[in-house]
Amino acid sequence: MITVSVATSRKEQLIDITRDVQNAVSKRGFANGICHVHTAHTTAAVTVNENADPDVVHDIILSLDSIVKELPGFRHGEGNSTAHVKSSLVGNSVTVPVDNGQLVLGTWQGIYFCEFDGPRSRKVWVTCTPSENG
C-alpha cells in the first residue's frame, strides 16, 4: 500500500490526483490488475470524472451545494454535517483497472480527491491487486 498526501487549500475543492496514483502504481512496478484508491476521511471523497475542462469541477461542487443544504435540525456538534453528507454521496473509494503498468481511464477521465471540509492535510491510500494471469 502506498500513501499519497493531499493538501487542500479551500473549504470545498476537487484535486486531480491521477498523476500521484499513476506514480504509486509505477513505483510498485505493478503490471496488470486493479488499483484501489481509498480515503478514510469522513468529510472527503474520491471520484473519477472529467479532467479536461476545469468547469466540470466547478459544476460538481455547485451541484452538490444545491443538493446538500445546511439544515437547522442538524445535530452534529462540529458544524460540518454537509461535508459528511457530501462524502457519503460521492463515496470514499474508486477502483481502476491497470494494464501494462498504466491506469486504464477514458480519454477525459481523471481521479479526483474531493475536499468538503478544508483546508486540511489529507491522505489517500493506493493498493494494487494483480490479475490472475499477471
Domains, in order of start, for the chain: 2-130 (2.60.120.460)
Confidence of residue 73 (pLDDT cuts 50, 70, 90): confident
Q: Are strands 102-103 and 121-130 parallel, antiparallel or unpaired?
A: unpaired
Region 27-42 average pLDDT: 94
Q: How far apart are CA 95 and CA 37, in angstroms?
A: 6
pTM strictly above 0.75 = yes
What 8-state DSSP symbol labels residue 134?
-
Q: Which residue has the cell 469522513?
A: 42
Query: One-letter amino acid identity for 40?
Result: A
pLDDT in tens, 94-119: 999 999 999 999 999 999 999 999 99
Measured CA to CA in angstroms, residue 61 lies from 26, 80, 87 at distances of 31, 16, 12
CA atoms within 13 A on the CB side of 74: 15
